[in-house]
Amino acid sequence: MTAEELAAIHLKAMVVPKAWSAQTMQGFLDFPGAVLATSQAGFALGRVVVDEAELLTLAVDPDAQRQGQARRCLLDFEQMARDKGAARIFLEVAAPNVAARALYLQAGFGEGGVRRGYYRGTEGEPINAIVMSKTLIPA
């Protein structure tokens, strides 16, 4: 997927945090440790630094949600991160995003803390982020 295609999906899928532009997407794709896992209508984007992976965003077009695409992207992302040497993966998710939190919990992530006011809502209100992590089992 191109940065423009990623940005288009992100725009449809995101409420909080704010959707990223194609330029922002390209910046992450250009990062030396970038990891991008895609499906027909979704993607997981992150990076690996030394032995740690960070899932920066996971988005699926709303018309294709609840079809397993997010789960597939997440599993592919984990494998790609493992292949790049990651032993652990972490992410932040908006506290009110119950569906995403459930997905991550089902995938073996644990909740490890709260970043208060990490995101801003549509009216500028502070929204907490839940920090989640998972140890990756070596292949």
Catalytic residues: 92, 104
Could you tell me the sign of the dihedral formed by the alpha carbons of 35, 30, 57, 70, in that order? negative
CA dist., res. 102 & res. 97, Å (int):
9
- Measured torsion, CA atoms of residues 112, 73, 43, 139, in degrees rounded to the nearest 10: 80
Q: Kindly state the greatest CA–CA separation across the chain.
A: 44
